[in-house]
Amino acid sequence: MPFPGGVLKRLLVGRALRSDRLGETLLPKRIALPVFASDALSSVAYAPDEIFLTLSAAGLAAYAFSWKIAIAVGVVMMTVVASYRQTVRAYPNGGGDYEVATANLGATAGLVVASALMVDYVLTVAVSISSGADYAASAIPFLKGHTVALAVGLVVALMAMNLRGIRESGTAFAIPTYAFMAGVLGMAAVGFFRAAFGHLPDAETAHLAVNPTSEFPHGITGILGAFLVLKAFSSGSAALTGVEAISNGVPNFREPKSKNAATTLLLLGVIALTMMFSIIVLARLTEVRRFAARQDPIISQLAKAVFSGFSPGFYFVTAATGVILVMAANTAFNGFPVLGSILAKHGYLPRQLHTRGDRLAFSNGIMLLAGFAVLLIIVFDAQTTRLIQLYIVGVFVSFTASQIGMVRHWNRHLPTTTDPAERRRMLRSRAINAFGATLTGVVLFVVLITKFLAGAWISVAAMAVIFLTMRGIRGHYDAVARELFADLDAEAALPARVHAIVLLSKLHKPALRALAYARATRPSVLEAVTVDVDPEETAALEREWERRNLPVPLKVLASPYREITRPIVEYLQSIRRSSPRDVITVFIPEYIVGRWWEQLLHNQSALRLKGRLLFTPGVMVVSVPYQLASSERLKAQIDQDQRRWWQVAAASGATSATGPDGGTPTRPTHVPAEPPHAGPRS
C-alpha cells in the first residue's frame, strides 16, 4: 500500500503551526547573523578567487594589485553597511530596497529594484551552491565530474530545510556558519604566526608560471590594463552580495527589530572584511597561483599550506567552506520568499506567493526560487566562473536605487523636523546615504561595462522580462477588480426563472439520485435531457421512462455525428436566447470510484462538458456524486493511512498538537479525495 503523501509531508516538513505562533519564529542576533549574513560571509570563499583569476590574464605581476582591489572592495562594503544601517532604522517593516524605492522614487523604480533583487536571489543560490560543489569535489575526489548532480541535490535539500520554517533552518545553519568563521580566522591566525617566524610554506601552485595572455603582453599597462583591474574589482565586489537581505528581513528579528538588524549589519561588515583581507594577504605570502578554473580554490590551497603536517586542519577548513557556501544560499531562501510575498500583496505576483505554509514560511516562494536555481545550475553546468559573470548586477541596481531613495526620504522629513538632535542625525544619515548612492552607482557602471558582454546582459534581460511580467500581472488584477467591483447601489439581480436540466444516458441509480436532487431544489422548469448517440439505447431509455411514469419530461437531442458536448451546449444556448433572464442549472451524475484504473474505464464526457459550460454565461453546473462499491476500498485505505500516521506520530511525539492534516488531534473522519469524473454515459 502506498505511503500516504500527507504523512511523508509531515515527516519532511514537520507538523503545522498555528498562525498565532508566528512570534516564536523570530530570530535573536546570534541566529539572525548566520541566517541573513551567510551569503556575504561566504563570498570571501570565491571573491578572492575571481580577483586572482581575472588578474592572471596580465601575468604574475598583476597579482600585486590584489590587495589594492581588496581595499577598494572593503571601502564599498563598509559604505554599503553604513548606508543600510540607516535604511533598517527608517524602514523596519521589511521590503528593504523595494519598499524604499517605491516609497521615495515611485512604483516603477520599485519594480525595477524588485526585478533586480529577484534575479540576484536566484543567482545567489546558483553561485553559492555551485561553488560549494566545487569545494566538495576538491576534497572528495570521486565527486569530480558530478558537480551538477551534487549541486541540484543540495538545492533540493536546502529547499526542504527552509520549508520547515526560518527558525529551524536558522538554528541548523548557525553551527556551520560559525565553524566557517572559526576555520578561516583560525587559519589566518596560524598562517600569520608561521609567517612571522619564517615557517610558512609556499602553496602547492607557487612553482607554476602565470604567463600573460595575448591581450596583455606587457602586463597591466594602458587602457586595457586599467579595464582588467576594473573587471577584477567588479568580480571581487561579489563580496557585497547578501548585505541587502538583512534590510529585507527586519520583520524576522526579535524586538527591538531595527536595532538588532543594524547591529547584525555591523557584525557582518567587520567579520567579512577581516576574513577577505586575511585570505588575500595569506595568498600573497604563500604565492598562490590561481589562473584556471580547474585548479583548487584559494582557501583549499591556503589550508594545505598553513596546516601542512596537520591534515585535520585542512579538512576542517575545506569542509566548513564547502558547507557555508551551501548555507549561503539560505540568505536567498529567506529574502526571495519575503520579497515575493510583499509583491504578491501589492498585486505584482500571483497571490499564492503571499500565503504562508504549514510551518509559517512562504512555501510557494521557496519552491519557486529552488526551481529557477536548479534551472540555472543545469544550463551553466554548475560552473561558478560562468555564473558569476551574471552576478552582482542586480544587487548594485538595488543598492543604488535604495540609497537614492533614502536621500529623498531624508529630504522629505528634514523640513518638518524641529528637534536639533534629530535634525543632526538626519543630516548625518543623508550624507552617508548620498555617499553610498554615489559609490554604488560608480560600481554599477563599472560592473556593467566590464561584465555586460561576458554574461551580465543575461541578467539585464531577465530583469526586463520579470519587470514586464509583474506589470502584466498587476494589470490583470486591476482589470479583474474593476470588472468585479460592486458599488453601493449594486444588487444581485434575481433571475426570472431557474431552468433545471438533468443530463443522463441511462435510468440507473445515479440518474435517479440526480433527478431527485434536482426536484428537491424546486426549479421553475425541470427536464431530463439525453443525447441520441445510440438509437437502441435511446429507445430503451424512453421505454423505461414511460414505464416508471416519472413526473419529469424527457428531451432527446439528436446527434448525427455522435457528439455529446456540442448538442447540449447548442440546446442551452437556445434556451438562453429565448429567455436571457433565466438561469440554467445543469445537474450531472458522477461516479466515485476507488481505483485509478477504474477512472480510465469510464468516459470523461462530463469533464469535457463542464469545461465547456464554465465559459457559458448564465449556466450553473452541479455535480451529483454516486459512490460505487470500490470507493469503500478507498475510504478504508484512507482510514488505514490515518491510523498509520497516528502510530508514527505517537512514536515521534507529534500527536500533542496536530493531526496529519495540521488540525486538532482528534481522530479524523473520512475526507473523500477529489472525485474522479465520469460522463453521462458510463
Residue 465, pLDDT > 80, answer yes
Q: What angle do CA 333, 335, 339 make, to 5 degrees?
A: 120
Is residue 56 included in any domain, yes or no? yes
**If we measure between CA atoms, which residue out of 38, 64, 56 comes closest to residue 385?**
56
* Three cell numbers, residue 623: 455535480
Is residue 681 included in any domain, yes or no? no
The whole-angstrom separation of Cα 350 and Cα 470 is: 9
* Three cell numbers, residue 527: 427536464
Is residue 682 included in any domain, yes or no? no
Is residue 237 included in any domain, yes or no? yes
Residue 1, pLDDT > 60, answer no
From residue 493, how far is each of 358, 433, 488, 496, 582 by CA, in Å? 40, 57, 14, 9, 11
Same domain, 460 and 352: yes
Is residue 492 included in any domain, yes or no? no
Given a contact cutoff of 8 angstroms between Cβ atoms, the answer to whether 327 and 38 are in contact is yes
Q: Tell me, what amino acid is at 550?
A: L
The whole-angstrom separation of Cα 16 and Cα 209 is: 59
* Three cell numbers, residue 292: 584556471
Given a contact cutoff of 8 angstroms between Cβ atoms, the answer to whether 257 and 96 are in contact is no
Same domain, 454 and 505: no
Same domain, 475 and 502: no
Same domain, 469 and 509: no
Residue 91, SS3?
Answer: coil
Is residue 662 included in any domain, yes or no? no
Query: 450-467: b or e for each residue (b if 16 or more CB lie within 10 Å)?
Result: bbeeebbebbbebbeebb
Give how many domains the chain has, as a whole number.
2
Residue 168, pLDDT > 50, answer yes
Q: Which domain holds residue 165?
A: 5-22+37-479
The whole-angstrom separation of Cα 666 and Cα 604 is: 37
The whole-angstrom separation of Cα 225 and Cα 209 is: 20
Residue 242, pLDDT > 90, answer no
State pLDDT tens for residues 382-431: 887 778 778 778 888 988 998 999 999 999 999 988 889 999 999 999 99
Q: What angle do CA 248, 249, 253 make, to 5 degrees?
A: 150
Same domain, 573 and 647: yes
Residues forming beta bridges with residue 530, ordered by sequence position: 556
Same domain, 265 and 375: yes
**If we measure between CA atoms, which residue out of 488, 532, 536, 528 comes closest to residue 511?**
528
* Three cell numbers, residue 377: 545550475
Q: What is the CATH number of the domain that holds 192?
A: 1.20.1740.10
Residues 6 or more apart in contact with residue 449 via CB below 8 angstroms: 230
Cis peptide before 256 (omega within 30 of 0): yes
Span 566-573, average pLDDT = 91
Residue 317, SS3?
Answer: helix
For 123-163, the DSSP string reads HHHHHHHHHHHHHHHHHSGGGTT-HHHHHHHHHHHHHHHHH
Residues 6 or more apart in contact with residue 342 via CB below 8 angstroms: 94, 95, 98, 99
Same domain, 91 and 239: yes
State pLDDT tens for residues 190-231: 999 999 988 899 988 888 888 888 777 766 777 777 888 888
From residue 621, how far is each of 250, 289, 518, 530, 554 by CA, in Å? 48, 72, 12, 16, 19
The whole-angstrom separation of Cα 65 and Cα 67 is: 6
Same domain, 132 and 248: yes
Q: What is the dihedral of CA 443, 449, 451, 453, to 10 degrees?
A: 160
Same domain, 406 and 522: no
Residue 463, pLDDT > 90, answer yes
State the chain's maximal CA–CA distance in angstroms: 110
Residue 392, SS3?
Answer: coil
Same domain, 395 and 286: yes
Is residue 29 included in any domain, yes or no? no
For 536-572, the DSSP string reads HHHHHHHHHHHHHT-SS-EEEEE-TT--SHHHHHHHH
For the beta carbon of residue 447, count every other beta carbon within 10 angstroms: 26
For 588-650, the DSSP string reads EEEEE-SSHHHHHHS--HHHHHHHHHTTSTTEEEEEEEEE-HHHHHHHHHHHHHHHHHHHHHH
Residue 535, SS3?
Answer: helix
Return the pLDDT at 18: 47
Given a contact cutoff of 8 angstroms between Cβ atoms, the answer to whether 128 and 325 are in contact is yes
Is residue 89 included in any domain, yes or no? yes
Q: What is the CATH number of the domain that holds 640?
A: 3.40.50
State pLDDT tens for residues 72-103: 988 988 998 888 888 888 887 765 788 889 98
The whole-angstrom separation of Cα 521 and Cα 587 is: 11
Backbone torsions φ then ψ of 15, nearest 5 degrees: -70, 150
Residue that is written with C-alpha cell 534581460 in the block: 461
Can you give the pTM of this predicted structure? Answer: 0.69
Residue 375, pLDDT > 90, answer yes
Return the pLDDT at 404: 94
Given a contact cutoff of 8 angstroms between Cβ atoms, the answer to whether 193 and 31 are in contact is no
Given a contact cutoff of 8 angstroms between Cβ atoms, the answer to whether 203 and 302 are in contact is yes
Q: Tell me, what amino acid is at 599?
A: Q
| Percentage with pLDDT > 90 across the chain | 27
Same domain, 429 and 576: no
Residue 56, pLDDT > 70, answer yes
State pLDDT tens for residues 255-289: 888 888 888 888 888 998 899 999 999 999 999 98
Return the pLDDT at 512: 92
C-alpha of 175 from chain center: 24
Confidence of residue 360 (pLDDT cuts 50, 70, 90): low
Residue 3, pLDDT > 70, answer no
Return the pLDDT at 515: 94
Same domain, 471 and 504: no
* Average pLDDT score over the chain: 81
